[in-house]
Structure 1
Amino acid sequence: MIRLSRADGLLTIAPGETPLVTDTLAPLDAMVLEVVGGHLSWSLLDDRQLPAAVLDDPVTAQDWLWAIYGEGVAIAVADGADGEIAAESVRPDLVAALRRLAYAHWASRWWPASTVEGIPALDRHLLDAEIGQLGAMCEMVLADSEFLELAPGDDAEGLITELSSRRTTGPESISQRSRPGVESSARAEDYALAAGGKQPGDGLIVAHGSGDWDWRRCPPGILDAGADALAWTVSRSSGISTTRVTVVAAPDCPLHLPEHLRPHVRLDVDNGTEAAVTAELHLRTDSWSAEVQLPETTETFTTLSVFVPGVGPSTSYPDESVMRARIRDFARRRLTAQGGVQLLAAESAAAESDDDF
């Protein structure tokens, strides 16, 4: 069963608790496609095949509604009906291809590549090629913008800047490039130790810790998506506190990034003025780092955030660390599944190389 509802000039087709593009903030596991007449969406962590739909032009969407939801739903939409109605896809092969395409787009933006967690990056060219193939299979449903592709060798950095704040999960990640001097077979536990260990330096260490960072605040392919990729140490000498912040670089991080894509760190301090200190992180070998001097009257900071300026939503939202952990678990299960899981070509290549990652 699906539910038809209409509000503010939009028609919503909802099979259960699937995320919608009209949600105030789409969850990290939302997979979205722009289609003729509106948008389709699925949840990554839900096996449901039938998508939710938000339509701003139900008339043009009639060209494919019957194939996805069945003739009964298509007729109900045409008649302006609301409420629950049975849905039965006429083209389950098309529904499966659309979900796979949405997943490929999601993976290009949110795949949690991490040396710390042992999750290899996906090959960008394999991913783009499969997106193109799936797009051709789903042509009758897709809007023209879904056919936006990057040719092999294209520089995707400008595309990241343009699309990083969009809620659709289109091709937004950085093209993979080799990083001179970095061994692809480096052990994940070595990176975890480096991220979580104390940093040497002058003065008394007054605080230290590690954790992850907000994926919404940085484009893909820059920072490691692991749970302990971020580490910090506060040392105090001569009445001045200095914070050293280190974030492991993504496995596919380019050696050189334009200034507008370089990550920064923000330290909020409690000294009665609601002050904050911001500094740019610098890439050295396999990690991004910065040393930040705190105001004289402050021993340590209250909150720490890592971000790329201008990226991510402007509104506040709940902590998503649990969802990030679920997505990392999902990625590991995909790469280690024994049969029954139809991997993307890029996932298959990553799974084959995972033993040496």
Structure 2
Amino acid sequence: MPGAGGNTGIRVTRAEDGVVQIAAPAAGPAFARAVLDVAGAVLVWPVLGTTPLPAAEVHDPGRAQQWLWAVYGERTAAAVHALAAQPPGASADVAPPEPGTALAGHAARLALGHWAARWWPASYTDGIPALGPDLLGLELAALTHRCQQLFDDPEDQPDGDPAELMETHRAALDPLIRWWRAARESASGPVRHLDDVVRLIDDAADCAGVEGDALRRLRSALETGAPHDPRDQHGPRVPPDLGSLFGRHVDYALAAGGSLVGDRRVIARGTGTNDWRRYPPGFADAAENAVTWTVFAVGAGRAIEVEAVSDVAAPDSGVRLAAEVVVEGGPPTRVPLARRGDMWAGMADLDVPASLPPRTRIEVGVLLPGFDPDPEPGSAATDGRAGRDAVRALVRHRLAAAAAPEPHDPYAQPLLAPFLAEIVAAAVDAGEDF
């Protein structure tokens, strides 16, 4: 997919609203874009692309100058500064920077990590394991600390404070340190990557004044150069069992349908649209066929039952999903869904003819009321399905790479290299009947 860093150069334009745009905005649905809010701008990468250079919308060129030159080069930074004083519509073509800009690669990896935290399509039915949120959060803390040149205000980026990320995801700190110790002693696994992450975490914790027993043990090991944990009296370790460190077996047998009983007759059934934009992560299984519906004749009336496979981390009470049902393009009917075992399920009356034509078009999707965004222009259900399939193919490829004996080097290929959470997910998945 073409990006901001192609051989044809970078187009910088002052838009009608005064925003200075660098390259064309990334196309496609929200779940195919990685986004970072940085000082004075918003950066966007296409997840399905490989360019480390993002498109940008610069709303405060003065604040953005602290990082523009490091990401796009001095010529682009100068063009943004000049165009900020020009009338709307003014533009300039700038040669791309030399490849290998370090901050650009780190920023792209940070944005991809935030994308994974929000859009990773974890699915029992598709066989895509979830990423451990705490381990991913700690690596994001390390990357945020590395990319601190991008930020001048803690409010710039949601989840953009390294100290807050470490506090939120502290549960993975001790297992991460044990993994790092064992990998260094056995000279196996992504030793360089682990070493880099724990050193960045230590530096970020030191700068932010974050304390704790695990961090003190880590700091001691870094200062003495001795990875061995003095609490361990059993000598050097073998390569670590990541399943025992991070994994958790999920007893997740799909519930059988038909729990709503009564005098009813099935007259239609089908599969709904599982649009990930319409609910937060951790609510529903991301498989395309996770949403199913059945229309019943109940006496003289008609009713629809909707079921959606829940995510293993879905809340048991309090917040509830809903289904939106549209018959032949008519007004939507909302069906409240309640968590029932490993399903979200609900039933409601349906206003359809008593004799339902065999080709009646019934569209069903799940959403979280109040969270559901407005539909994006040009994002029809068929286009969304193709995009979601492309994302599933991407994460399967990444998991396969993470399972390789020598995963991609994050220094050489920041967008292709797996996160530590992906390495663990691939290892645990291989050892479990997922």
Query: When the two structures are superposed, what TM-score results if normalisation uses the length of structure 2?
Result: 0.66
Q: Please give the per-residue CA displacement for 1:201-259, whole angstroms capped at 9, x wherever unaligned.
A: 64321111124412111111001110111111112142222222110001322333x33
Rounded to whole Å, the distance in 1 between the matches of 2:423 and 2:273 is 27
Q: 1:46 to 1:199 in 2, by over 3 A?
A: farther
- From 3, 14, 17, the equivalent of 1:6 is 14
Shift of 1:270: 6.0
- From 329, 349, 373, the equivalent of 1:293 is 349
Rounded to whole Å, the distance in 1 between the matches of 2:285 and 2:65 is 43
- From 233, 238, 251, the equivalent of 2:312 is 251
RMSD over aligned CA atoms reads: 2.9
1:113 matched residue in structure 2: 122
2:395 matched residue in structure 1: 331
The percent identity for this pair of structures is 34
Q: Is the 8 A contact 1:240 1:299 kept in 2?
A: no
- From 385, 389, 413, the equivalent of 1:321 is 385
Shift of 1:5: 0.5
Q: Please give the per-residue CA displacement for 1:316-350, whole angstroms capped at 9, x wherever unaligned.
A: 54221111111111111111124434111111111
Q: Does 1:42 align with 2:42?
A: no
Q: Which has the higher strand share?
A: 1
Rounded to whole Å, the distance in 2 between the matches of 1:230 and 1:85 is 48
2:326 matched residue in structure 1: 268
* Higher alpha-carbon Rg: 2
- From 50, 72, 75, the equivalent of 1:69 is 72
Q: Which has the higher helix share?
A: 2
Q: Does 1:225 align with 2:286?
A: yes
In structure 2, the gaps of 5 or more residues are: 1-8, 84-89, 171-247, 409-415
Q: Is the 8 A contact 1:39 1:54 kept in 2?
A: yes
- 1:108-257 aligned at under 5 Å gives the runs 108-144=117-153, 145=155, 146=157, 147-148=160-161, 149-150=164-165, 151-152=167-168, 184=250, 186=252, 191=254, 202-256=263-317
Shift of 1:305: 2.5
- From 347, 350, 357, the equivalent of 2:422 is 347
- From 301, 307, 330, the equivalent of 2:367 is 307
* Paired amino acid for 1:48: T
Rounded to whole Å, the distance in 2 between the matches of 1:234 and 1:104 is 41
Rounded to whole Å, the distance in 1 between the matches of 2:387 and 2:251 is 28
In structure 1, the gaps of 5 or more residues are: 155-181
Rounded to whole Å, the distance in 2 between the matches of 1:214 and 1:107 is 16
Q: Which moved more, 1:326-335 or 1:234-243?
A: 234-243
Q: 1:305 to 1:127 in 2, by over 3 A?
A: same
* Paired amino acid for 2:391: I
SS across alignment from 2:315: coil
Q: Is the 8 A contact 2:272 2:365 kept in 1?
A: no
Q: Please give the per-residue CA displacement for 1:288-319, whole angstroms capped at 9, x wherever unaligned.
A: 11122224855567332211111132345422
2:207 matched residue in structure 1: none
Q: Is the 8 A contact 1:135 1:142 kept in 2?
A: no
Q: Does 1:86 align with 2:95?
A: yes
SS across alignment from 1:140: helix
Q: 1:353 to 1:199 in 2, by over 3 A?
A: farther
Give the total of aligned pairs: 314
Q: Please give the per-residue CA displacement for 1:254-276, whole angstroms capped at 9, x wherever unaligned.
A: 333x33xx1011223469xx554
